[in-house]
Amino acid sequence: MDSHIQVPELQEQFETPAQQKDASTLGMWIFLVTEVMFFGGLFLAYAIYRRAFAGAFGLASNTLNVWIGAVNTGVLLCSSFTMVLAVRAAQIGGRRALVVFLILTILLGGVFLGVKAYEWNEKFEEHHVPGPTFHLEGTTEQGPAQLFFSLYFTMTGLHALHMVIGEGLMLFLLWHAYKGKYTPSYYTPVDVGGLYWHFVDIIWIFLFPLLYLIARHQH
Among 4, 33, 135, 180, binds another protein (CB under 8 A): 33
**Contact call for residue 140 and another protein (CB under 8 A):** no
Q: Which is nearer to another protein, 29 or 175 (CB)?
A: 29
Among 9, 119, 122, 141, binds another protein (CB under 8 A): 141
**Contact call for residue 10 and another protein (CB under 8 A):** no
Torsion of CA 60, 208, 166, 98, to 10 degrees: -150
d(CA 47, CA 214): 12
First-residue to last-residue Cα distance in the chain:
68
Q: Which is nearer to another protein, 106 or 151 (CB)?
A: 151
Provide the β-strand partners of residue 183: 186
**Contact call for residue 171 and another protein (CB under 8 A):** no
Distances (CA, A) of 97 to 18, 108, 175, 177, 198: 24, 16, 14, 10, 19
Total residues binding another protein (CB under 8 A)? 39
Contacts 24+ apart (CB under 8 A), 55-59: 55/139, 55/141, 56/136, 56/139, 56/141, 56/144, 56/145, 56/147, 56/148, 57/144, 57/145, 57/148, 57/214, 57/215, 58/214, 58/215, 58/218, 59/136, 59/138, 59/139, 59/145, 59/215
CB of 25 to another protein, least distance (A): 9
CB of 100 to another protein, least distance (A): 30
**Contact call for residue 15 and another protein (CB under 8 A):** yes
**Contact call for residue 11 and another protein (CB under 8 A):** yes
**Contact call for residue 168 and another protein (CB under 8 A):** no
* Phi then psi dihedrals of residue 13, to 5 deg: -80, -10
**Contact call for residue 53 and another protein (CB under 8 A):** yes
Segment lying near another protein (by CB under 8 A), choices 63-71, 74-82, 145-153, 185-193: 145-153
CB of 108 to another protein, least distance (A): 27
CB 90 within 8 A of CB 175: no
Segment lying near another protein (by CB under 8 A), choices 9-17, 72-80, 84-92, 162-170: 9-17
Q: Which of residues 91-130 bind another protein (CB under 8 A)?
A: 130
Applying CB under 8 A, the residues found at the interface with another protein are: 11-13, 15, 19, 22-23, 26-27, 30-31, 33-35, 37-42, 44-45, 48-49, 52-53, 56, 130-131, 141, 143-144, 146-147, 150-151, 153-154, 158
